[in-house]
Structure 1
Amino acid sequence: MGISKTSTEVTDNSNSNSNSNSSTQTETDNHISIPAPYAEGEKLLVNHSNHLYIAKVRKVEYNNAEGWQFLVHYDGWKKSWDEWVGMDRLMKPTEENMRKKRALDEKHGIGKNPKVPRGPLAKSKSTNVSRGRKRRNEPVIKPKIALDPDKLVTIQIPPTLKKQLLDDCEFINHLGKLVKLPRSPNVKDILKNYFDYRLKKCGSMADSVEEIMKGLCRYFDKALPVMLLYKTERQQYQEACPANVFPSAIYGAEHLLRLFVKLPELLFHASIEEETLTELRAQLLDFLRFLQKNHSTFFLSTYHVAEDIEISSDKIGD
């Protein structure tokens, strides 16, 4: 994204007798150093989905097309959520701007000292399923040991879908809303749509794609009650998925996307051969691109208000 630097140089070719806009400027170059408006390590406020978050500048770059760009790290969030932002989304944490932040927090029902909303990229705990009757589709998936990040399969979630995960967290944890169930298209429909898409695109490879889609569906059905739900969604799950109903027939893209955050951990325990894992990773990335391409078709633009739900910071799997 351009050349990293904390200041850029502007050439002023005008002389003392010429107007700065004159076409007859001299070739004498006077270099004026312009410092970056924010420095590496500086704390600031970042506007994200009409919320103000406290963040720290990790890198500063100047791009001739876009101007100053800043890599920011959100306090309390994993590095996976670091992003490059422009000047239009940044502001100093002045007393006035902090008042704006508090006003927005109050508007959206966030407490005076809210915990940072932990999205699905937060580390999952060893989970116990919601107390209640057992189901045949409930959890055989459990984190077993502390994981070495270097040994996990990297699944790069596209920026549009990362924002979807953030918005998903905001709707549920801060605004007290839920995904209205049942969803259409549901997870089974989406996986079938992708299979049909790949069958049309490259028919000879359809068998392996079909197996991967079936595997994703099984993973989703087993993982959803264990690690893909926020606390405020559990009652809804109990009501929406009686013993003879699989989650993949009720839930949609919003919850399916959360599975991809957990997949590196799940695949770590699956003992898959390296060659097969490489092929699987490629297929999963292609599927994510398919989700991104059909974002407006598969994902809700807003969630519905959930009555009698406590608004709190929560993370998937708690």
Structure 2
Amino acid sequence: MKIPLPGTLKKQLVDDWEFITQLGKLIKLPRHPTVDDILKKYLEFKTKQEGVVGDAVVEILNGLRTYFDKALPAMLLYKPERAQFLEHVPENSTVAPSSVYGAEHLLRLFVKLPELLVYTNMEDDALLQLQQKLADFLKYLQKNQSVFFCSTYDGPKVDLAVDVGKERISK
């Protein structure tokens, strides 16, 4: 199963990877909106759009939340983010990653989802419907990209002070 990512979301993933792995920056946690918030907003959006939302949509959103909570510590974090995860989601706590993390990490799930869904026992029709609903959700993320994704990352403070002649000027 393939889940096509819109181009702007692919760029978002690449930028996210670069900020974290190459520039040593992190996403400030807890994120607002959280994954839970985004899933609720999508459900509200679909309800306004269609009047009544089918059980399938609710089931898929609940499944996304469950997959996210399980997959985040196992396969969605980059190495520099692991200590931050333990700080915000302590072992044996009742804190769900979906109540702390946001769209950046949720988007990473969509890259891994096809390999995770290989292990589910679903009929072809159901897989096709799931694929369509996930594509619709990604379009929603894309339309709300400026609201859901962070534009700045936290990182090591860089001293931008420059010596000019004998004076030191901080920028």
TM normalised by structure 1 equals 0.48
* 1:276 matched to 2:164: no
| Higher RCO (CA 8 Å, separation ≥ 6 residues) | 2
How much does 1:220 deviate?
A: 0.1
Aligned-residue sequence identity (percent) comes to 58
Amino acid at match of 2:152: T
Contact 1:187–1:248 (8 Å) recurs in 2: yes
Contact 1:186–1:250 (8 Å) recurs in 2: yes
**2: CA distance, partners of 1:262 / 1:198:** 25
Q: Secondary structure at the match of 2:53?
A: helix
Superposed counterparts of 1:270-309, under 5 Å: 270-306=120-156
Q: Deviation per CA, 1:85-124, whole angstroms, max 9, x where unpaired?
A: xxxxxxxxxxxxxxxxxxxxxxxxxxxxxxxxxxxxxxxx
Where in structure 1 do 4 or more consecutive aligned residues deviate above 2 Å? 203-207
* 1:174 matched to 2:22: yes
**2: CA distance, partners of 1:299 / 1:207:** 28
Contact 1:199–1:206 (8 Å) recurs in 2: no
From the superposition, tell whether residues 224 and 256 of structure 1 become closer, same or farther in structure 2 (CA, over 3 Å). Answer: same
**2: CA distance, partners of 1:239 / 1:202:** 40
User: 2:161 corresponds to which residue?
Assistant: none
**2: CA distance, partners of 1:229 / 1:294:** 23
Q: Secondary structure at the match of 2:57?
A: helix
Structure with higher strand content: 1
How much does 1:302 deviate?
A: 1.6
Query: Unpaired segments of 5 or more residues in structure 2?
Result: 158-171
How much does 1:207 deviate?
A: 2.2
How much does 1:306 deviate?
A: 4.8
From the superposition, tell whether residues 202 and 161 of structure 1 become closer, same or farther in structure 2 (CA, over 3 Å). Answer: same
**2: CA distance, partners of 1:275 / 1:157:** 21
**1: CA distance, partners of 2:39 / 2:56:** 13
Q: Secondary structure at the match of 2:10?
A: helix
Structure with higher helix content: 2
Q: Deviation per CA, 1:35-58, whole angstroms, max 9, x where unpaired?
A: xxxxxxxxxxxxxxxxxxxxxxxx
* 1:163 matched to 2:11: yes
Q: Secondary structure at the match of 2:128?
A: helix
Q: Secondary structure at the match of 1:304?
A: coil
User: 1:53 corresponds to which residue?
Assistant: none
Amino acid at match of 1:281: Q
TM normalised by structure 2 equals 0.88
* 1:201 matched to 2:52: no
Aligned length: 155
1:188 maps to which of 36, 40, 50: 36
Q: Secondary structure at the match of 2:54?
A: helix
Amino acid at match of 2:123: E
**2: CA distance, partners of 1:228 / 1:216:** 13
1:258 maps to which of 96, 108, 112: 108
* 1:223 matched to 2:75: no
